[in-house]
Amino acid sequence: MKTRFGIAAFVLTVAFTAAIAPPGFAAGKVHPNTAIEWNQTMLNSFATANVAPAAANRLAGVIAAATFDAVNGIERRYTAIHVQPAGDPEASPEAAAATATYTALLAAFPAQKPTLDAALASSLATLEDDDASDQSIALGKAWGASVGAQIMAWRAGDGFNATPPPYTFLTAAGQWQPTPGPTTGPPRFRTLATTAPFALTSPSELRPGGPPALTSARYAADLTELMQMGGATSATRTPLQTETARFWQLDTPPAQWDRVADSLAMDHHLSLIKTARLLALVNISLADAIIAVFDAKNFYNFWRPVTAIAGIDPSWQPLLVTPYFQEYPSAHAGVSSAAATILASFFGEDTSFTVTSSGLPGVERSFTSFDAAVAQVSDARVWAGFHFRFSCDDGSALGRQVAEAVGKRLMVKTSEGDD
């Protein structure tokens, strides 16, 4: 199935466009899908708080779970992620979605309360304008607040905020070493390796086989590619490739892939429950993929190119500052593959779409398939000087496996409807 869309053709309210709509959305008179509206509010909250990409992948899954369980708890179409359906059938699903997401975001970002309060007031006012009854809105608010609180309490114990165990620095060839930059000490985000997944049986369920031997032909070939294409002063990398490396680095995966999901949901006129499910599948796949990736990163503890190449060419530096954690496998390739796999399952592999990056306003990357976008992400990590090609390939394969597991195990249809 091939679908083309023009972002500028989407019709949203003026308030939604001005406050939280993805770049390029046009103003209009149609009220926005509440799930999309609050997904954009989530992304704005992440940006305001400057949430690191690795942490954003997990948190996006948590927030999306609250939105979905709130809507599904009233409509009762799918198995729950965590909170079993108990919403009043007369409750407003829109009010529930807005309030659940608000409650979860407020728990995560209490300093943003004035902004979140205003967003919730605006959402509820829209429902009143649409002639939803006061009782229906009140029931939806109560149910949504309960779901949001339950989801946040549940995931507070998933291990992400635990104290990581002591880290032992190893000096053998192939072992991770501190990389140049402002960060020092052990690698960051080690608790992701032991965070409880949403759908996987454990962080290690799909652990990849590991990097090739340092004496292998594959390692030698990928090392050569990195030295040529990923260096700060590369004479081989083109200006467009340099821009592409920056494009995929200067925004978070949830922001880039959720904007694609929002646009496609609007283009296909998805209902509230379908949109909430789509966003939950995308973001939970991001969450479980980052958990699986960090399990492998910490298990293999593989060195970064900047360390590996230092013994060959001490003057070599990567194009961009290397993220301060282990190399194998590529996190961005893994989570992007997970998101793309879910989107392809909804809209077809050969779907046309456009990706934007908040770090490069006005720059876009357009694709005619999800595989092409994932391939560009892998290229970008090599061109940035961050990753060996084998780490991108294995990360992409891991992300696809994670998404397939999430799609089979979570939010399974239980009742007939308009799917």
Q: Specify the pLDDT at position 237.
A: 98
Q: Which of 155, 175, 205 is the last residue of a domain?
A: 155
The C-alpha angle 333, 335, 337, rounded to 5 degrees, equals: 65
Q: pLDDT for 118-149, tens place per residue?
A: 999 999 999 987 778 999 999 999 999 999 99
Q: Is residue 419 part of a domain?
A: no
The band of 55, judged by pLDDT with boundaries at 50, 70 and 90, is very high
> Is residue 105 within 8 Å of 56, Cβ to Cβ?
no
Is the separation of the CB atoms in 66 and 101 below 8 Å? yes
Residue 229 located in a structural domain: yes
Give the mean pLDDT of 86-94.
97
N-terminal to C-terminal alpha carbon distance within the chain: 17
Residue 89 lies in a domain: yes
The chain-wide mean pLDDT, for the chain, equals 92
- Token pair recorded at residue 395: 């990360």
Asked if 175 and 301 count as a contact pair (C-beta separation under 8 A), the reply is yes
Q: Are residues 270 and 372 in the same domain?
A: yes
CATH classification of the domain holding 102:
1.20.144
Q: Per-residue pLDDT averaged across 182-207, rounded?
A: 98
pLDDT band at 300 (very low <50, low <70, confident <90, very high): very high
Secondary structure (DSSP) of 326-357: --SS-HHHHHHHHHHHHHHHHH-TT--EEEE-
Question: Has residue 211 been placed in a domain?
Answer: yes
User: Which amino acid is located at 27 in the chain?
Assistant: A
The structure's pTM equals 0.92
Calculate helix-pair angle for 253-267, 34-49, nearest 10 degrees. 160
Question: Are 261 and 343 spatial neighbours (Cβ–Cβ below 8 Å)?
Answer: yes
* 12, 35, 47, 288 from 17: Cα distances, Å: 6, 15, 17, 31
Tell me what pLDDT residue 131 has: 75
Does residue 91 share a domain with residue 11?
yes
SS percent in the chain: helix, strand, coil, step 5: 55, 5, 40
Cis previous bond, 329, omega within 30: yes
- Which of these ranges, 14-28, 111-125, 157-171, 213-227, has the smallest mean pLDDT? 14-28
Assess whether 375 and 233 both reside in one domain. Answer: yes
* Distance from C-alpha of 272 to C-alpha of 393, rounded to nearest angstrom: 35
Model confidence band, residue 293 (pLDDT cutoffs 50, 70, 90): very high
In whole angstroms, give the CA distance from residue 53 to residue 342. Answer: 19
Q: What's the angle, vertex CA 102, arms to CA 124 and CA 107, rounded to 5?
A: 155
Averaged pLDDT for residues 204-220: 98
Q: Does residue 103 belong to any structural domain of this protein? A: yes
160 domain residue, yes or no: no
- Asked, for residue 185, whether it belongs to a domain, the answer is no
Write down the pLDDT at residue 24. 35
Residue with tokens 């081989």: 236
What SS3 state is found at 384? Answer: coil
Question: Quick one: 132 and 198 in the same domain?
Answer: no
- What is the total count of domains within the chain? 2
What is the token pair recorded at 338?
């997970």
Which H or E run contains 412? none
The Cα–Cα gap between 384 and 93 comes to 44
Of 74, 21, 18, the residue nearest 265 (C-alpha): 21
Q: Do 317 and 231 share a structural domain?
A: yes
Cβ neighbours of 228 (radius 10 Å)? 13
Percent of residues, the chain, with pLDDT higher than 90: 89
pLDDT surpasses 60 at 18: no
Is the same domain home to 130 and 230? no
**pLDDT surpasses 90 at 177:** yes
Same domain, 195 and 245: yes
| Same-domain check for residues 108 and 65 | yes
Span 261-270, mean pLDDT?
A: 97
Indicate whether 100 and 240 sit together in one domain.
no
Looking at the structure, do residues 201 and 130 belong to the same domain, yes or no?
Answer: no
Q: How far apart are CA 280 and CA 274, in angstroms?
A: 10
**Which residue spans within 14-69 are E strands per DSSP?**
26-28
pLDDT of res. 128: 81
Statement to judge: residues 266 and 132 lie in one domain: no
The least confident of 8-22, 89-103, 193-207, 404-418 is 8-22
For residue 112, the 8-state DSSP code is G
Domain end position, chosen among 138, 155, 172: 155
Domain containing residue 113: 7-155
Which of 155, 181, 216 is where one domain is finished? 155
Tokens of 300: 């293999």
161 domain residue, yes or no: no
Read off the pLDDT of residues 310-324 as tens digits, 9 standing for 90 and up.
999 999 999 999 999
Which range, of 9-23, 125-139, 163-177, averages the lowest pLDDT? 9-23
Helix ranges, 191-330 (H): 217-229, 239-249, 253-267, 272-300, 305-308
Q: How confident is the model at residue 417 (pLDDT cuts 50, 70, 90)?
A: low
Is residue 397's pLDDT more than 70? Answer: yes
pLDDT band at 275 (very low <50, low <70, confident <90, very high): very high
Angle between helix 389-409 and helix 331-347 axes, rounded to 10 deg: 40
CATH number for the domain harbouring residue 268 = 1.10.606.20
pLDDT (0 to 100) of residue 13: 32
| pLDDT tens-digit readout, 366-381 | 999 999 999 999 999 9
Write the pLDDT tens digit of every residue in 324-382. 999 999 999 999 999 999 999 999 999 999 999 999 999 999 999 999 999 999 999 99
The tens digit of pLDDT for each residue in 67-77 reads 999 999 999 99
Alpha-carbon torsion (148, 149, 151, 157), positive or negative = positive
Choose the weakest-confidence range: 22-26, 145-149, 216-220, 343-347: 22-26
Q: 278 and 378: one domain?
A: yes
- Fill in the amino acid letter for 78: Y
